[in-house]
Structure 1
Amino acid sequence: MRGITFKDIKKVGNIVLENNLFTHVHYPEMLIMYDSNFIEFKKMPGISELKDTEKYLRDFHLKRGQNHLKFYFPENEKLSEEVRIYLTETGYESGFLELYAIRPNCFPKVNNNQDIEIKAVNNQNVENFLQLQYNQDLQYGSEFARQKIDFSKREFDDPAIVQILAFYQEVSAGYAIVNVSTETVEIDGLNVDASYRNKGIGSRLQQFVMESFPDKIVILVADGEDTPREMYKKQNYQYQGFQYEALKVFED
């Protein structure tokens, strides 16, 4: 397996500024989607560099009615102590992501529960997908959930994106989005409704991806402090690296 990095992970947005220190990505179609409106550092910033970049991004966002700051730091580098302390003292939430990869033939065999059916999203079931996703996204606010519907409709028409829907006893119960590139497929946004968890739906969604793209490397990102990462390890995913991130949301 070739070296997989966070550069293989799809980030939606347009590069509006790039220099020796960072890349600034902006997505005007959905200003409240933090993961598409951010700065990614190319090298670990010192405090003065971080403060200057923070001011630049804050000014840029204020002009567009955005109330957040989101930073990604260089992959496989831990935050320096001074940066960590500054982020904590100034109200950022920080953590780290972990990157995993697997060849489809290494994915363990899944129990073929007849109650579960996995389908690619199409014109017949797209409304089921959108409603299920809307219900899940409400935890981030009704406005975000509403805008996410329009975002997903745009993705539905993108040939490089496959939306997958899981049914349990004919009721829509989970979904995933797959970003397809030349060598890899990324499982993004895998989600199972709380009422249908621990029934094997997440594994069946992944199995569908493995069977659909047997010749590609399957990749995904997990929260470095969350429990799903332990499941991925048990499923034979191989750890590829980590990346720190920080988010600050200002009160309106």
Structure 2
Amino acid sequence: MADEHRSAEVDLRTDRAHGARIYDYILGGKDNYAVDRAAAEATLEVWPALRVHMRANRTFMHRAGRFLARECGIRQFLDIGTGIPTQPNLHEVVQEVAPDSRVVYTDNDPIVLAHARALMSSASAGRTAYVESDMRQVESLLAAPELRETLDLDRPIGLMLIGIVHFIEDDDEALAVSRRIVDALPTGSYLAATIGTDDFAPETLARVADVYHEHGETMRLRSAAQAARFFDGLELVEPGLVQMHRWRPDDDEHLSLDEADIAMYGAIARKP
């Protein structure tokens, strides 16, 4: 691990699977445990496209970051539920466009904290910081010194909720949490999000959700109408809410993916 001393001080909760570590395993990482690998392999048995889906989620994040930095002039980013560092990370993507970009990463998995050093390799003109926090604890997250010292909450911020809201099973709670964060951001900020759905393979994804639950992880898949509610009051950027691989793809390869292999909607919207 990147910081074995730090990881020894925290409870890594290795008795249950965690979405960030399942994601890490599927993407070929080594920062996961037997329970995470078991959950991932059990999911692959019922849905072999899991790797395709998770890679599509990662590349959506890359496209969203570049779009916000290049096309929208965003220079501050708040990445909630960042997961275990996987290159290129968000700051590497946006600082390639604008070296002065600032990024705050947050996650509630202690293993991510143990690897936070990998998220601090900022370009000299910019800055990165890490906050260990649950997204449900909005007020404490926004008050964290690391965040306040890195981001100016009076200037537009790119809020990244990539593959995270499906870990809040209650619809009202998930909406309330995301809205409290958006409400705290100034006009001209953007929300980029991917939201889990079973619209395109309902029977298969129901089995996937069962596997996650059996291994101690939560999952709530939402319809297009339910996903759209996360962007209420915001101005959707074209092409609006679509399957994430269809949001401004970089190449035709994304468009050739089978719809049943992609279980997330993606969108970017501006706060007026």
TM-score, length of structure 2 as denominator length: 0.28
TM-score, length of structure 1 as denominator length: 0.30
Larger proportion of helix: 2
Largest Rg, 1 or 2? 1
